[in-house]
Structure 1
Amino acid sequence: MIELLLVGIGTGNPEHLTLQAIRALNSADLILIPRKGPDKDDLAGLRRAICAEVVTNPAVTLAEFDLPVRDETIADYRRRVDHWHDAIARVWAGTIAAHPGARRAALLVWGDPSLYDSTLRIAARLSPAPKITVIPGITSLQALTAAHAIPVNEIGAPFTVTTGRRLRDEGFPPGVDTCAVMLDGECSFRALPMEGLHIWWGAYVGMTEQITLSGPLPGVAAKIVETRAEARARHGWIMDIYILRRGT
């Protein structure tokens, strides 16, 4: 049976790796490196750089593969994602099969495999099923609160972690005063009544390219939209996250 190591690597900063993650990578026979096309080669490059810095076992093989593109012609969002995940699982299986001697394969997972990441769902599609070992990592939410030096919640108060899509379609989550928003490619905070909301926003958090902005949402919303667009154009990709809080 193949063992599949899902290793959380934080946000691309090698210093985010835990000792457990470094040991796991060095114990692997095979490390899978996804390529997302020339516009996002930085992402593969960061994984290569992490391996170059922390992998000291000469027996470890790096195997790169092209990540399938999501078929945007499929109208239903859930079916579109499921179709994409099926395709990714097939590529994983083919890449591992091309190295028949490998008994332990590792994937470097941006952030952590447990929070708004589909690696575990894709791994569950593999047949025969591998043994799955998860190595937790620093999440973008942790990196964001550290960058702004804030706690994620008020004393004794709950908070919600949601997506940009749901914030846009459903509004501010009910029953809480704080929400963290991930996977928002459209700056969906613009769809909310802004008065009384404070935002802490960050892109590339934890990396040398880190950008942070914060303040009352009516005063900084336009600046965030502008800054985000400029950063994405400059790098060819962007990963950002933000926290919204009422009454601050």
Structure 2
Amino acid sequence: MSQINDLWLVGIGTGSPAHVTLEGMQALRDAAVILVPNKGAGKDDLAGMRHAILAVSKSSAQVISFDYPVRDDSLPYGERVDRWHDEIALRWQAAMKNVQRAGPVALLVWGDPSLYDSTLRIAQRLQPAPQLRVVAGITSIQALTAAHAIPLNTINGAVTITTGRQIKDHGWPEGAQTVVVMLDAHCQFQAMPPDAEIWWGAFLGMPEQILIKGRIGEVAASIVALRAAARAEHGWIMDSYLMRAA
């Protein structure tokens, strides 16, 4: 079998099995096959956490691991990501050659499949197109605001969700009272107004969770140093932050 007819994308939150909804746990039990990516040296924890969630769910699905491709950093950003997604779809398809059971195929998606995740876009590359089911998960935004015990928005205030790359290129989004930033490997908050407030978090929901809050001018250097140390220790890091205009 090399074709995926029914593909279930199950949001698993940000690292804790407790983040997986009851619907998500049931989907993992009902799936016939579950694909688990291996993301390379130093990132074994990511596959390990998926296996831990499967153990909690008591899923009896056939679990197939596949190696994640590496992006070609020599290419322009758009082309780099496009080719990377093409290769991931091919590896899903190749992994299906080892399937022993017919039925739905599931992928455990970090956070939620709809928020700054490309699994849905990769799924659109499959031929023939599978029947898609999406099971919502807790997003890093929810995990971040919950960890800091803060509301996402101010009263009647606009919220912009963006990326570190956009912050670098365009600065503070026009009209936004609150800015949530995802995928910022270069700590672009350092160039933001020093009197704006920031709530930063990494490994949200996990035992390794780290939180820092304060005015950017006062805590930016601490975040940069702590982030670098945590990444060196674990080999990877997933973090996000919320900024609020003064």
- Give, in whole Å, the separation in 1 of the partners of 2:194 and 2:32: 54
Indicate yes or no: 2:155 matched with 1:155.
yes
- The Cα of 1:144 is off from its aligned counterpart by 0.1
* Matched letter for residue 179 of structure 2: C
Amino acid at match of 2:150: I
Q: Deviations over 1:31-53 (max 9, x none)?
A: 00000112101000100111111
Write the deviation string for residues 60-96 of structure 1: whole angstroms up to 9, x where unpaired: 111000001111111x111110000000000001112
Give the letter for the 1:240 counterpart.
D
8 Å Cα contact 2:62-2:99 kept in structure 1 = no
Q: CA deviation at 1:101?
A: 3.5
Query: Is the partner of 2:144 in helix, strand or coil?
Result: helix
2:5 matched to which residue of 1?
2
Whether 2:73 is the aligned partner of 1:65: answer: no
Three-state SS of the structure 1 residue aligned to 2:27 is helix
Partner of 2:50: 47
Relative to structure 1, the CA distance from residue 195 to residue 12 in structure 2 (aligned partners, 3 Å threshold; closer, same or farther) is closer
**Equivalent residue, structure 2, for 1:139:** 139
Q: Which residue of 2 aligns with 1:130?
A: 130
Distance 2:194 2:213 in 1: 15
1:6 match: secondary structure: strand
Identity of aligned residues (%): 55
| Residue in 2 that maps onto 1:206 | 205
Residue 43 of structure 2: SS of its match in structure 1? helix
Please list every run of at least 4 consecutive aligned residues from structure 1 whose deviation after the TM superposition is greater than 6 angstroms: none
Structure 2 counterpart of 1:208, which letter? P
Query: What SS does structure 1 have at the residue aligned with 2:127?
Result: coil
> What SS is found at the alignment partner of 2:36?
strand
Q: Which sections of structure 1, spanning at least 5 residues, go unmatched?
A: none
Q: Which amino acid aligns with 2:228?
A: A
In structure 1, give the amino acid aligned to 2:67.
Answer: D
Query: Aligned partners of 1:234 and 1:64: how far apart in 2?
Result: 25
- Cross-structure match for 1:118: 118
TM score, norm. by length of structure 2: 0.96
Partner of 1:104: 104
1:238 correspondence with 2:237: yes
Structure 1 residues 165-204: aligned runs within 5 Å: 165-192=165-192, 194-204=193-203
Structure 2 Cα separation of the partners of residues 164 and 233 of structure 1 = 20
Structure 1 distance, partners of 2:217, 2:141, is: 23
How far 1:100 sits from its partner (Å)?
5.8
How many residues are aligned here? 243
- For residue 226 of structure 1, what is the aligned residue in structure 2? 225
Residues in 1 aligned to 2:243 and 2:174: alpha-carbon distance in whole angstroms: 13
Does the Cα contact within 8 Å between 2:37 and 2:65 map onto a contact in 1?
A: yes
The answer to whether the 8 A contact 1:96-1:105 is kept is no
Root mean square deviation of aligned Cα: 1.0
Aligned residue type for 2:231 = R
The offset of 1:190, in angstroms, is: 1.4
> Equivalents in 2 of 1:3, 1:113: separation in Å?
16
Partner letter of residue 143 of structure 1? A
The aligned amino acid for 1:61 is Q
Q: CA deviation at 1:28?
A: 0.6
Q: What secondary structure does 2:220 align onto?
A: helix
Matches of 1:91 and 1:34, distance apart in 2: 10
- Give the letter aligned to residue 211 of structure 2: T
SS of 1:126's partner is coil
**Deviation of the 1:103 alpha carbon:** 2.2
The answer to whether 1:11 aligns with 2:6 is no
Match of 2:32 in 1: 29
Q: Distance in 2 between matches of 1:202 and 1:160?
A: 18
SS in 2 for 1:38: coil
